[in-house]
Amino acid sequence: MNYQTSALLFYSGKIFAGVLLCLFLGFFGITAPAFYLLFVGLIIPLFISLRLHSLKERGVVMLPANNSEWIVYVNGIPVREARNTLSNPGFFSIDRARLFFASAAGVKCCVQLASIILLVQQVSEAPGWLYLAAAIALGWMGYSLWQSTRALQSVLTRQWLIQSRDSASGSQWYFGYYDASGKATAALDSVLKL
């Protein structure tokens, strides 16, 4: 049983610091980090989830069930709820998995690059004392772009890990993983990472 006593925003210090940085810079007219958080943190994951759901309905993707029980405190009253989190999908062919993850990583890289270009353009018109906060945001966004580019490169050059699993019905499904410094990371987790 898992317990939630505060908003999910406060469970990750990095995300909370990023939101505070976006609010600070947005107050002075630099909105590129907020654009980045909105698209990479909300819109892209939403479209990926919708796409995976439609592919699952057509039977070309298997989404392993990942259910968990939670107790959420709403105004001090414990409420029991079941959550189903999105986990790494299995595809009916390796090429289909490669196409999906290459497309998702490519879109993410384009949005990240557009955010960085927008940030540089907005900072060039901002007062000089905002450069430090903008440099922190640029470093964060640049590092994330570097990770996404590495993931895209590993998919395009076929240097990622493929695991095959058999389902109960006897069909074979292929799951993609990235080799991040000797540790296998689910391809979906890498695509959805901020």
pLDDT of residue 114: 96
Q: Which of 138, 132, 133, 136 is nearest to 119 (CA)?
A: 138
Say what the pLDDT of residue 100 is: 95
Single out the residue of 180, 152, 169 nearest to residue 62, CA to CA.
Answer: 169
All structural domains of the chain with their residue ranges: 2-192
**What element of type H or E holds 78?**
strand 77-84
pLDDT of res. 71: 78
| pLDDT tens, position by position, 72-120 | 777 778 888 887 788 899 999 999 999 999 999 999 999 999 999 999 9
CA gap 101, 158 in Å, rounded? 12
| 47: confidence class by pLDDT, cuts 50, 70, 90 | very high
pLDDT at 141 over 60: yes
Model pTM?
A: 0.84
Largest CA distance in the chain: 63
Query: Is it the case that residue 148 has pLDDT exceeding 90?
Result: yes
* CA angle centred on 45, ends 148 and 139, rounded to 5°: 40
